[in-house]
Structure 1
Amino acid sequence: MKPSKRASGLQYLWVTVAIFILDQLTKWWVAGDFELYESRIIIDGLFNLTYVHNYGAAFSFLSDGGGWQRWFFTVIAVAVSVVLLIWLRRNDVSFWRQNLSFSLILAGAIGNVTDRFLFGYVIDFLDVHYQGWHWPAFNVADCAITIGAVLMLLEAFIDNQRDPEDTQGKE
């Protein structure tokens, strides 16, 4: 008897590929069309496109580390990517929130690790500010990681694996 193949979360890799391509295209556009540190106002007093290099992690964490952090964050991103691929493979396709969150995080990790590998830094350009308060610049990959993490947290609070009928007789 031939074992049945179930549909896995790997079917969500199209999201990873699409977000990765969008991330890389926007970074290539910014790097090719802007001078380093050039800023263009999109919404006055709120949002600019500002081309910067981030040698650290999120919010420029460890950006002044002297270079070792490039490989440290690359290794972490590759390890996280491998774990996410394994989880996607093991997940049933029906766990859409979890699969989507993993795919988004994977896209962001691969997008930023591609920059680190090619350039030694991550290209950031989305610049949010308000009345003197300035959020560190970020990119499409960072957005994907953040949205994926939020979805993962929401998934932790939504038990979509348990059928209420299954638990009624077990109390």
Structure 2
Amino acid sequence: MGKQKWILYVVGLVVLIADQWIKQLVRAKLAIGSAVVVIPGVVEFTHLQNPGAAFSLLPHQVWLFVLVAIAVVAAVVVVNTRFQLSALAQVGLGLLLGGALGNMVDRVFSPTHTVTDYVYFYTIHFPVFNLADASIDIGVVLLILSTFRGGHDARD
């Protein structure tokens, strides 16, 4: 079990910066609704503005999503303070933290209070998503894996 609590925050910061940088590039280079093929028949960058959560659920509930993101950030900080986390759990929580903050920044600072989505895989016909979304999903998977591997111990 690692004692370095900073891993979580470094991962979160890297995700947040990369997410916002890529979204800025997408907004600057692609008109909304336009696409650029990255790998023909596999993946493209499609610029969409999502007013809701995953799959565009609960559209235009900006402050609900902001409150949820704040709760996630608070929970991550509490878990990191309360438990001695494995490196795997720290990376998972860092991905979750960075993803939650990345989408929250979009909701708060975008003039339309929407989230910029841009990755579309033809092969799986999954909705268009972004780095923050992928980070959240991967973070949750890593957290689940870390629990099977004994990813934390409660502090006395």
Q: Which residue of 2 aligns with 1:38?
A: 34
Structure 1 residues 76 and 47 mapped into 2: Cα distance closer, same or farther (>3 Å)?
Answer: same
**Compared with structure 1, are the counterparts of its residues 160 and 29 closer, same or farther at alpha carbon in structure 2 (3 Å cutoff)?**
closer
Structure 2: which 5+ residue stretches go unaligned? none
Tell me which amino acid in the other structure corresponds to 1:124.
Answer: D
Residue 99 of structure 1 and its aligned partner are, at CA, apart by 1.2
Q: Which runs of 4+ in 1 moved over 2 A?
A: 6-12, 89-92, 159-162
1:27 aligns with 2:23: yes
TM-score by length of 2: 0.88
Q: 2:130, 2:42 → 1: CA distance? A: 16
Letter in 2 for 1:143: A
The answer to whether the 8 Å contact 1:105/1:148 transfers is: yes
What is the deviation of 1:156?
2.0
Report which structure shows greater RCO (CA 8 Å, sep ≥6).
Answer: 2
Question: Which residue pairs with 1:126 in the alignment?
Answer: 119
Query: What are the Cα deviations for residues 128-167 of structure 1, in whole angstroms up to 9, with x where unaligned?
Result: 113xx621111111111011000011112222568xxxxx
Partner of 2:48: 52
Indicate yes or no: 2:84 matched with 1:88. Answer: no
Counterparts in 2 of 1:112 and 1:54: CA distance versus 1, 3 Å: same
Q: CA RMSD in A?
A: 1.9
Q: Is there any run of 5+ residues in structure 1 with no aligned partner, and where?
A: 1-5, 163-171
Whether contact under 8 Å (1:9, 1:95) holds in the other structure is: no
CA shift in 2, pair 1:91/1:10, >3 Å:
farther
Give the paired residue count: 150
Matched residue, 1:109: 100
Deviations 1:10-64 (A, max 9, x none): 443111111110000000000011100110111111210000001111121223x
Secondary structure, aligned partner of 2:128:
coil
Q: Is the 8 A contact 1:104 1:148 kept in 2?
A: yes
**Percent of aligned positions with the same letter in both sequences?**
31
1:79 corresponds to which residue? 71
Q: What is the letter of the counterpart of residue 106 of structure 2?
A: D
Alignment TM-score, normalising by the size of structure 1: 0.81
Letter in 2 for 1:24: Q
